[in-house]
Amino acid sequence: MTEKKNKKKSVNVNKIVEFKMNLNLKNLFLIGFIIFFLFYTFKSLYSEIKKTVPEKSIVTVVKEIKEGKVKKVEVFDNRIFVFYKDDKLAISYKEQSDSFLKIIQEAKIDPNTVEIIVKDTQSTNVLFNSLMNIIPTVLMIAFFIFLFRQAKGAQDSVFSFGQAKVKRFSKDMPKISFNDVAGVEEAKKELEEVVDFLKHPEKYKKLGARTPKGVLLVGPSGCGKTLLAKAVAGEANVPFFSIAGSEFMEMLVGIGAARVRDLFTTAKKNAPSIIFIDEIDAIGRARSLGLMPSHDEREQTLNQILVEMDGFTPTEQVVVIAATNRGDLLDPALLRPGRFDRRIILDYPDLEGRKAIIKIHAKGKPFSSNIDWEKVAKRTVGFSGADLENMLNEAAILAAREGKNKIDFENIEEAATKVKLGPEKKRLQSDFDKKLTAYHEAGHAIVSHFLPHTDPVHRISIVSRGIALGFTLIPPAKDKLHETKTNLLEKISVMMGGRAAEEIVFNELTTGAANDFDQATQTAKSMVVEYGMSDLGPINFGPTTDITEWGKTYFEQNPISQEMMAKIDQEIKKIISLCYQKAVEIIKEKRNLLDKVAEELIKKEALDQEEFEKIVGPKAKS
């Protein structure tokens, strides 16, 4: 026991020894303020105590001493504290120069009849008076020094506006390699070449090749542009500087251009190096052509980037990698060879790409052995890499919520639906609303099933998700690079299937088909205006867009006459009407199957492909 106590004591001693105080200007100012505050607090408390003690005149005190009522007297300068034999206390005052002993003697009182204590307060008074004079002065000086330092810091920050807020990736940061990226094999090869240029420049210089000055990554959100840049940072083993396009912009004029200069100067000092500018469309938009209002600050920043990228000497190995999902907005001068030599187009991953991405993000997660990953990859057509990662994460969360030890296919199916359509909403619906939704979704499914060129129905549900009261999921059985006119017309017929079922079964029109009409109209308009799939012929009535001339789409609108616009509207209406009539024919012909599917939906709320085909039969192969 004694040893333990000794150990505890030694620990406490160590703790006391380790206590340190940082006596900087701020802390000294704080300590002085606390002392000043405590002093005035003590003074105010003393005045309050003084009010509670009765005050008597010196004559009364002398008289009471003569009468033998006083036990003791304490003298503090001009204050006299009188202690009575009945334990009461009183205070009296005398003149500063008078002696209390002399006052008693003049009153012919024997000093021995009462205990008299005289206390020296001269030194204490001197100390308090000194503090009262010094402390306010010290506090005032410290306050002004603090203000000057703050002003100096603000002045320094004003002059630091021109410094780029660039983040440098170091070797200690978690590395992402090209092995962590999948579904964009062509882009990986292009960037692996750039990394190899920086690692082994001699191999390319022998053949007269120069390092590409810029690589532009263009593609939809979530397809891996930033992830590829992180992989380059992990693989390159050269200084990697990352900055967002919006970080160049500031309220002060000229700051964007100054930050561009500072960024490129830093990169040149550390050459060979890589600069990554994310969301470059924030500063790289096409400059004003007179039809749109200009933005001088952004244009100055863009001009500086153009100068810096074109001003490299052959010996400087600085590569600029930029990412954007709006390549059509970029200035043509930024895209020319000599600035961005390489343009890498990223798109949604195909079947093999989705398999590879799922394999990467499935690491570290326990899955059931019966999961068919081929089926999962086919189910997720149109998913980006970010969507797939989010899907597997949501599946893991769902499995954990249900108390499972492993993630099964049902969790993945629910997560995939949730990622695209949102979580389930258990809305209280009347029997009529539920029946209406069931027939609407069954109408989509029946029309799709009996058209020859459509894909199999994957899932039907009347459970609300997001803004939709129900959904019919018909993912493509395989990735398609082209769409035929027949396929597009059948897609529009499927969209019309919900309204056709409502009209035939209930002899009523509802608002539930609004989104179907929107998609159908957009598809029909594209067929007429862009694809030349109408009686108007193979003419493009929309804006002319060329992938080699990004930046001009906004300004080269094709003028169309009012007569031609009327013909376009008539063609769109004709396509929609024909497709709607086709949907009505199928619904009337398969009315008995429609009723069976709707009844089953009302009971179960959702049907998968096997349950649906058990009712209507397998889909005929086209």
- In angstroms, the CA 594 to CA 478 distance is 27
User: What is the DSSP code (8-state) at residue 330?
Assistant: B
Contact criterion met (CB below 8 Å) for 539 and 571: no
Distances (CA, A) of 153 to 22, 165, 176, 247, 404: 21, 18, 38, 21, 56
Please name the residues in contact with 210: beta carbons below 8 A apart, sequence gap of 6 or more. Answer: 204, 314
Structure tokens at 414: 């629910």
Structure tokens at 519: 């998609």
End-to-end Cα spacing for the chain: 89
Is residue 213 within 8 A of residue 319, CB to CB? The reply is yes
Question: Rounded to whole angstroms, how far apart are CA atoms 455 and 32?
Answer: 81
Peptide bond into 423 cis (omega under 30): no
Residues whose CB falls within 8 Å of the CB of residue 148, separated by 6 or more in sequence, listed in order: none
Half-sphere exposure of 153 (CA within 13 A, CB side): 6
* Both structure tokens of 404: 């499972």
Q: Quote the CA–CA distance of 307 and 436 in Å, as a whole number.
A: 63
- 389 CA to centre of own chain: 17
Q: What is the total residue count of the chain?
A: 622
3-state secondary structure 28-39: HHHHHHHHHHHH
Q: How far apart are CA 287 and CA 296, in angstroms?
A: 9
User: Helix %, strand %, coil % for the chain, to 5?
Assistant: 55, 10, 30
Q: Is 54 exposed, middle or buried (0-12, 13-18, 19+ CB in 10 A)?
A: exposed
70-76/79-84 β-pairing:
antiparallel
Q: Please name the residues in contact with 466: beta carbons below 8 A apart, sequence gap of 6 or more.
A: 421, 422, 425
Task: Give me the sign of the Cα torsion angle 344, 349, 351, 354.
Answer: positive
Cβ 330 vs Cβ 340: under 8 Å: no
| DSSP-based three-state secondary structure for 537 | coil
Q: Are 141 and 21 in contact (CB under 8 A)?
A: no
Pick left, alpha or beta for residue 277 (phi over 0 → left; psi -120 to 50 → alpha; otherwise beta).
beta
CA distance to 118, 357, 398, 583, 601, per residue, from 462 (Å) = 98, 31, 21, 20, 7
Known catalytic membership, residue 441: yes
Q: Which listed residue (297, 394, 441, 600) is catalytic?
A: 441
Residues identified as active-site: 441
